[in-house]
Chain A
Amino acid sequence: MSKTKTSPAKASAKSKPSFQPRIVSFCCHYCSYGAADLAGTSKMPYPVNVEIIRVPCSGRVDPLHVLEALREGADGVMVTGCLKDQCHFVTGNYHAEKRMQKLAKDLEDIGLGGRLVFELMSAGMAGKWVETASSFYEHILQLGPNPLKKMKPEVKCE
């Protein structure tokens, strides 16, 4: 079922690292989701393990959503929105930036520093999407697995 389980032979054959980060990316419907779509339409590859949750606006992303993703075992979380002054909802990306900057500091305090990235892009910037996803993936690869992942069965609550 899981990636590591289904392809152990393949992984060793191609000497892939045993740690394959799972990354959750919150994408706003109007810009970054469009950028990711355009990356696909343009056949521009990025790490397979970057998986998208669509939200109407980056301003809808609650810091609690990010924490939830980390608690569920994501190794990194991306929050992406429209460019400054180009937010479909006028100010959503500004609110998101403020919230995510604060959250990034808090994450450092609890030992999860560097596991959140916030980037802005327009729906036409497929290149920026690919670059953001790829470099964050590499960064998480260096950082190692989310320490909460080991505890997932225990921390999972109702």
Chain B
Amino acid sequence: MKNEEPRIGVFVCKCGTNIAKVVDVPAVAEYAKDLPHVAYAGWQLFTCSEEGQNIIKKHIKKHKLNRVIVASCSPKLHEPTFRRTVIDAGINPFFFEMVNIREQVSWAHMKQKDDYGEATEKAKDLIRAGVYRAAELESIGSTTQKVPPVCMVIGAGIAGIAATTLLADNGYEVHLVERSPALGGKSAQLGFVFMTDTCGVCVPPRHGEMARKCLSKRILLNDPKINVYTQTEVTQFSGYIGNFQARLHSKPRGVNIDTCTLCGKCMEVCPVEVPNEHNYGLDNRKAIFYPYSQAVPRAPVIDFDTCTKCGKCQQICPVNAIHLDQQPKETEINVGTVIVATGFDVFKPEGLYGYGEYPNVISQFMLARILDPMSPTDGQLRRISDKRLPKRVGMIQCVGSRDPNYYSHCSRVCCQVAMKHAVYIKEHWPDTQVTVFYKDIRLQGKEYERYYLDAQRLGVEFHRADITDVKEDNNKSLNLTVDHHNGTQEQFPVDLLVLSAAMIPARGAKELARTMNLEVDLDGFFREYHLKLAPVDTTTNGIFLAGACSSPRDIAEASFMGAAAASHAAIPMSKGEVEVDLAKSIVDESLCIGCANCYAVCPYSAIYMEGGVAKTIEVACKGCGICVVECPAEAIQLRHYRDKQIYSQIEGLLANIGASKK
């Protein structure tokens, strides 16, 4: 197609009324007919529909088009759709150009009713720019990249374990990387979990086998397809789909998992006592400890930050399983795909409602630890200050969530968690009064409504109100100042105040986003490629998201999102290869002066110097174009975004400025 005279087809979309309501679409199409190289221009109601695409194909044949422009929605949405359309009609996909007249014209200017005429002019401007650019486009080929059947899953919570087991069951090798010493994630801290009121440790699913669902059966550790790395973080990450390299840093465990007999003597002799993070500091643990009672891997772990290395545990261990001089371990792994399932953390509402100041103000997570049968109180509801049964329990919803001062999102599970705890308390201690203060009750999951009805039946009180002040009295009980939404105010005493704190991005999520080039949203969660159409994909091909790392989710959602991510990751691995387009940097060696500026700025090490000139590794190049600007000799260019292509787009966009003067 080189040197062929461009014959451009312009297809302007009404998008029902989405565009047509603001932009005079037929007038825009009419205008496009007179632009240079345009052989056909017309409009359609829905260009992305089957019919719309067929019309494009028809006109490609009829008018012998070799360039296609669709002026419709954002290319982020339908560029892939229309690229397939033109491929079907025998045109290289890089001869397709998309002009965004919905998100950036009709929708953006929908409220500026006086400017509808100008919105139409803007659509013309953008289409003209697209036409000028299209004339300069080039045909770009593709290459294939092998994808080995190996996946790295980061995070061994519900979503990570769901993805891991599914992939392993389908025959793929999985490297499961977990930062904490035990598997199970946050669900292991929840005691019993809705909707089934089953044990939170046991819910991470194993496809189809109920008996093996329980983590303490050690299935993950025994599966030959699964390599488990605990106390491990990803410190370096590079590569591309089919060839990701990750460097894993594992903290020393200090205990040999294979020889330890779980006699527990080491924990008896250890002289160090520190707050137990699994129980949110409700009790203490030793420096050598079980992360929690059913923790997997099934062996104690040494916390080397607090261990004094006194050696008592080492002396008493009957099987010499303890190694106080164990060093951190670095592992390099090479994988085809990656699933990120790093979950969430709980917002610490320091300074809100007396949290951190008064002992009897706790979070729902701490209440879950108190009510867990394996808790320091043996599952008995107790106050923190005097270990007595509270007679009045208050719960405040949306702490940190839906709050412009903290996090804008709804954490989605807190209403349900409060409902679950309220029902549990009323069922076991019917004399205890439970009162929930809320902004809105939002129960939207399967079976959730049942808890609400149960709570109402059992006499849980609900008040739509703001809590404006919390004061502690002499009995360490709390006096709430309640501003009811009906305008009245009252003092409300409670013995235990439970805050439904927000789910927020996991500690270290920002650093991981930087290491792996993940996008994050306003609240710091990882951003999916498309909320509805590609919720487990990321902008990097081959990296997928699962669970609460992208948004607050409950266990059921995390579970099926793990499965979804696994099935997406399996696609390139089962095919064994993926097609990679070559819209990448390319060096004109006759112009290259060998200055190596491009080599120095490339973030992906995709450029190397050989024989005094720069060369690019096309599969490793991600097409950013940083090198192009750096080149003093104009020797390196980025296909599809060459200088001449950008210049012609600028020229096209502003072409009417001179014209208006005439």
Contacts and interface: CB of A to CB of B under 8 A. Distances in A.
A95 B601 contact: yes
A88 B539 contact: yes
Contact of B654 (A56, A69, A91): A69
Contacts of B522: 122, 124-125
Contacts of B124: 1
Contact of A30 (B100, B539, B657): B539
Given A40-B107, A156-B658, A30 B117 contact: no
A84 B311 CA distance: 47
Contact of B104 (A40, A55, A57): A40
A92 interface: yes
Interface in A29-49: 29-31, 33-34, 36-41, 43-46, 48-49
B103 interface: yes
A65 B118 contact: no
B519 to A, nearest CB: 6
A92 B624 contact: yes
Given A56-B638, A59-B626, A60-B628, A45 B108 contact: yes
Contacts of A55: 625, 641, 646
Contacts of A72: 650-651, 653-655, 657
Interface string B496-510: 000000000000001
B617 to A, nearest CB: 16
A40 B109 CA distance: 8
A98 B514 CA distance: 20
A91 B650 contact: no
Nearest to A91: B603
A90 interface: yes
Interface in A82-102: 82, 85-86, 88-92, 95, 99
A64 B625 CA distance: 14
Interface string B273-310: 00000000000000000000000000000000000000
B121 A3 contact: yes
A40 B103 contact: yes
Contacts of A37: 74, 76, 100, 103-104
A22 interface: yes
A7 interface: yes
A39 B647 CA distance: 26
A56 B527 contact: no
Interface residues of B, number: 65
A51 B643 contact: no
Contacts of B103: 36-41
B110 A43 contact: yes
B661 interface: yes
Given A24-B653, A65-B647, A52 B104 contact: yes
B600 to A, nearest CB: 11
B629 A95 contact: yes
A6 B650 CA distance: 22
A5 to B, nearest CB: 5
A88 B519 contact: yes
Contacts of B654: 22, 24, 69, 72-74
Contacts of B661: 152-153
Interface in B628-658: 628-630, 638, 641, 643, 646-647, 649-651, 653-658
Nearest to B101: A40
A62 interface: yes
B625 A86 contact: no
Contacts of A63: 629
Nearest to B110: A43
A88 B471 CA distance: 48
A75 to B, nearest CB: 9
A77 to B, nearest CB: 10
Nearest to B662: A153
Interface in B89-126: 100, 102-112, 114-115, 117-119, 121-122, 124-126
A128 B507 CA distance: 26
B650 A85 contact: no
A116 B81 CA distance: 35
A88 B109 CA distance: 28
A135 interface: no
A51 B657 contact: no
B657 A2 contact: yes
B75 interface: yes
A72 B539 CA distance: 34
A60 B641 contact: yes
Interface in A1-35: 1-7, 10, 14, 22, 24, 29-31, 33-34
B518 to A, nearest CB: 9
Nearest to B76: A37
A78 interface: no
B650 A24 contact: yes
Contact of B622 (A2, A89, A153): A89
A30 B125 CA distance: 23
A125 to B, nearest CB: 7
Nearest to A7: B117
A149 B522 CA distance: 39
Contacts of B75: 54
B603 A7 contact: no
A152 B658 contact: yes
B115 to A, nearest CB: 5
Q: Which of B31, B114, B118 has the most CB of A within 10 A?
A: B118
A13 B517 CA distance: 51
Contacts of A4: 660
B107 A10 contact: no
B624 A2 contact: no
Contact of A53 (B119, B625, B649): B649
B513 interface: yes
Contacts of A54: 75, 100
Nearest to B631: A62
B490 interface: no
Contacts of A122: 519-522
Interface in B158-211: none
A9 to B, nearest CB: 10
A108 to B, nearest CB: 21
A48 B114 CA distance: 11
Given A68-B650, A90-B603, A90-B604, 16 more contacts: A4-B660, A22-B657, A24-B650, A36-B104, A40-B106, A40-B107, A56-B625, A59-B624, A60-B629, A62-B629, A64-B643, A73-B657, A85-B514, A86-B519, A89-B603, A91-B603
6 interchain residue pairs of minimum CB distance = A60-B625, A40-B103, A2-B660, A89-B624, A73-B657, A59-B626
Interface of B: 31, 74-76, 100, 102-112, 114-115, 117-119, 121-122, 124-126, 129, 510, 513-514, 517, 519-522, 527, 539, 601, 603-604, 622-626, 628-630, 638, 641, 643, 646-647, 649-651, 653-661
30 contacts: A2-B121, A2-B657, A3-B118, A7-B117, A30-B519, A38-B103, A40-B74, A43-B107, A45-B108, A45-B112, A48-B118, A49-B118, A57-B624, A60-B626, A60-B628, A60-B638, A63-B629, A65-B650, A73-B658, A88-B519, A88-B539, A89-B624, A89-B626, A90-B517, A95-B626, A95-B629, A122-B520, A124-B521, A149-B657, A153-B661
Interface of A: 1-7, 10, 14, 22, 24, 29-31, 33-34, 36-41, 43-46, 48-49, 51-57, 59-65, 68-69, 72-74, 82, 85-86, 88-92, 95, 99, 122-125, 149, 152-153, 156
